[in-house]
Chains A and B, each alone.
Chain A
């Protein structure tokens, strides 16, 4: 059987969900038997190089680069999974959604206690991604097939989900997806 190909990325997230992926510990060794990683911080491949079976998205969409990456994943993955609070609902970064962008920039770069009063500039280099008007959850912009809740989702949930997706059709145990 062909190994399933997995791609992962962290958009407007904190890499906590990726830490949780690593948290499956020794099962990583089993996972490598089952899947091949393509674009992912784990492999450091920067662009998806072939059709993937499973894409895991951490984080929401806060800038134009996030959006391009999300589209790249959607175009190249059979199944796309929103992993964690930020991907599903925007999470902490989305706290800025009700604050005008100018205010956010002023606070972050100019009025912050570590900046000289009145000094500093709002970064405007063309190399930098452009911030969007608000932080979007992934499913508002592309079709998302599955959602893994949690901040971060527990390692067991990630492991069982991957296993279910790889072996196709296996159901997740009730204890795993029951949250209260």
Chain B
């Protein structure tokens, strides 16, 4: 059994952890992370102390703990392994790695080994799709795993090595957070573009340019650039800022959404590794434009390893007076940024759920309207934009909107960073102008054997690789950046199953269509894939999918059936191939012998007599 700290020890340590925080519920998730890291679970004895400190009830603390995937009430092992089970990992040999971990650690997934040293668990995409299969070990991503490397890792864990030692990090690296971040997850930039990936960056240029303008002029500048949000929905950025600027509120907030949980997306990882200061400058410009004094970077738990690098960047910005009070001597322009962590919940990428999470609560989406620009963080007007959007803002302010406007298509200006993974020769990050044809992209990715392309991740669309003339832009194929390539040998129903199971798992459960509907879709698909389906089941899936889309409360349920719908539309043959019965069959296939097997084993009977 694991050595679990006694109640008194837990209380003493919890008290010292809590002493480092203000009595502010929005710090709760950061505190819970410290507890989880220290004890490898959240001990019961710690909960009353945390509740008392925050001035909330124990149940409030519990409901936050139980919402997030990475917070546990049971011990997860001194080394906690979270193996990515998303589709890109599966295509790269997830099963072999899973088996290797089980064999080496001597325990199954979902539990710890007998001395509580190693715990094995699954998780969804950790933002390493260009280097799968990957796993988080005590929060640190390990990419390109092989059965051989798993053997070495487990051996290292038994020897008590630190996670950095397991990774092979030397002294020289661990002293430089930027180099270390690059070493942990290589940026893998495959194509440099004219706006973000291929230009130089000098700290402070954007803020200096911004301060030459009045706040209102900044919004006009962004408006003239026609910039749209890069998270996927494409809402005009200037409009969002304008709403926030004109909303009444004694305080306003700027929030950067760095919760890129959409499987297949990892561009924000690269932007935060290579140019974090540019993101913060974009946030500062937004703060200047709308009159905010405080900003938050909401960082997904999977990118927690970037925190030292980001903190150091913030310190540098403060040292240069690019953050803090009277920025660059401009009196009245005070702005600072704090980092807040997520804890493993896809739905927190939805802006109102993100705000709930930022307040230390369960990440359940709010009813909208009112929108966050009016009632946001702590009920105050708040701008929430994506990492890429803030990076673009910084560039537009520096180089002007007109230049930006000349790139892309009529309704999608500028460039887009694509995260490319799956069956292609060159997975990684690409900056392309909006409006690129699918044909060009497949060539660019070295995806000659492609059958299908998933645009915008599981919540986006599945298209056939034969649709070569389609374009990636808001007018045709909108995307938040995820591009997963599927080769000829992949089964599209299997892919769709992975996607829908992901949503069934990640639904926050607040509204029925999403909570109950996604598992129903998953069950129907499973029936078909197992060869027990009827042609009617496909019709039923389409009916359910449309119902879920139409009646769910937030973007998760409104888009979760997209991949099933488009996959059925483009690859119906593959679904029909799995179906053996004619339409209208009255008695479905059912393996009664298999269903009796377990109880026969227990009672020592044979199913043959029945």
Contact = CB atoms under 8 A, between A and B. Distances in A.
Interface of A: 64, 67, 71, 74-75, 100-102, 105, 122-124, 126, 129-134, 140-143
19 contacts: A67-B592, A75-B586, A75-B587, A101-B599, A123-B603, A126-B605, A129-B610, A130-B599, A130-B600, A130-B605, A130-B607, A131-B596, A131-B599, A132-B592, A132-B595, A133-B594, A133-B597, A134-B595, A143-B586
A143 B596 CA distance: 22
Contacts of A64: 592, 596, 607, 610
A44 B389 CA distance: 73
Interface residues of B, number: 20
A130 B607 CA distance: 8
B599 A141 contact: no
Nearest to A134: B595
A133 B599 contact: yes
B590 A67 contact: yes
A interface: dominant SS: mixed
A100 B588 CA distance: 25
A141 B590 contact: yes
Interface string B570-610: 00000000000000011110101011111110111101011
Contact of B603 (A100, A105, A132, A142): A105
B540 to A, nearest CB: 11
A67 B609 CA distance: 15
A123 B600 CA distance: 11
Given A132-B595, A141-B587, A143-B586, 9 more contacts: A64-B607, A74-B586, A100-B598, A124-B605, A131-B599, A132-B599, A133-B596, A133-B597, A141-B588
A-B pairs, top 3 by smallest CB distance, nearest first, are A124-B603, A131-B599, A132-B595
A133 B602 CA distance: 11
Nearest to B594: A133
A142 B587 contact: yes
Contacts of A132: 592, 595-596, 599
Query: In this complex, which of B588, B599, B602, B609 has the most chain A Cβ atoms within 10 angstroms of its Cβ?
Result: B599
A142 B586 contact: yes
Nearest to B605: A124
A141 B595 CA distance: 12
Contacts of A134: 595
Contacts of B602: 101-102, 105, 122
Nearest to A130: B596
A104 B360 CA distance: 40
Nearest to B586: A143
A140 B588 contact: yes
Nearest to A141: B590
A46 to B, nearest CB: 18
A143 B588 contact: yes
A142 B300 CA distance: 45
Given A64-B610, A130-B605, A130-B610, A74 B599 contact: no
Nearest to A126: B609
A74 B595 CA distance: 20
A105 B590 CA distance: 24
A94 to B, nearest CB: 14
A90 to B, nearest CB: 13
A111 to B, nearest CB: 14
A134 B479 CA distance: 42
Contacts of A100: 598
Contacts of B599: 101, 105, 130-133
A140 B586 CA distance: 11
B596 A71 contact: no
Contacts of B600: 130
Contacts of B598: 100-102, 133
Contacts of B604: 124
Given A123-B603, A124-B603, A124-B604, A133 B595 contact: yes
B524 to A, nearest CB: 10
Interface string B354-389: 000000000000000000000000000000000000
A131 B595 CA distance: 8
A122 to B, nearest CB: 6
B188 to A, nearest CB: 42
A126 B607 CA distance: 10
A123 B599 CA distance: 11
A34 B594 CA distance: 42
Contacts of A129: 610
Nearest to B584: A143
B416 to A, nearest CB: 44
A123 to B, nearest CB: 7
Contacts of A130: 596, 599-600, 603, 605, 607, 610
Nearest to B607: A130
A105 B604 CA distance: 13
